[in-house]
A = this chain, B = another copy of it.
């Protein structure tokens, strides 16, 4: 909003420019992410002690909640940094980007439910699969925005070269593959599935660091957070 005003004071923003300004999309998105990572902690309950029980023994029941809080926090943080990286490239929004972004927020909003489910039934294949489906939804929507925006030169600051587009896609698709793997083995070995979910961020950080190292100076991959 403010940008429009300033520019139009300076003498130029058309209605078209104002409509395509991404600032409120970012405000909504940052708000949702801020709430999601904060709501996740609500699943860590303060234990009620039964008779003769000490807090020492009861607090260990909180451990699974804490583990799934950590996993979900890192997933949300990854999604947010990925979103920020993407929108440093995007100059204008259009109807497609706005609704794809709302779809991303839809998936992100389900994270606290998935996290709570996982913390309560961390051994149950169904809980692990539902958690996986939510994670997949976040990755698919992120991939969709990346593909949509990078193929529309009118929406980005500078057109990306094909190698950067591919790297960005790889970075969105890669967690998806990991989540599919964890989903697939949930019935066979719940413990292994949980471990894969927990290690996805580690793999993600390694991938991003590799992409940054391998990329030529000045390319978009250098800017992945």
Q: Which residues of A contact B (CB under 8 A)?
A: 1-9, 12, 15-16, 18-19, 21-24, 26-28, 30-42, 44, 46, 55-56, 59, 73, 77, 80-81, 84-85, 87-89, 91, 95, 98-99, 102, 105-106, 109-110, 112-113, 116-117, 120-121, 124, 126-127, 130, 157-158, 220, 223, 225
Contact = CB atoms under 8 A, between A and B. Distances in A.
A55 B124 contact: yes
A112 B41 contact: yes
A84 B40 contact: no
A7 B9 contact: yes
A204 to B, nearest CB: 12
Contact of A98 (B7, B28, B120, B225): B225
Contacts of A91: 5, 8
* Interface residues of chain A: helix, strand, loop or mixed (majority): helix
30 contacts: A1-B87, A2-B3, A2-B21, A4-B88, A5-B91, A8-B91, A8-B157, A15-B88, A15-B157, A18-B88, A24-B26, A27-B27, A28-B30, A28-B33, A28-B80, A31-B33, A32-B37, A37-B105, A41-B109, A42-B112, A46-B120, A55-B126, A56-B126, A59-B126, A73-B109, A77-B102, A80-B102, A81-B102, A84-B98, A95-B225
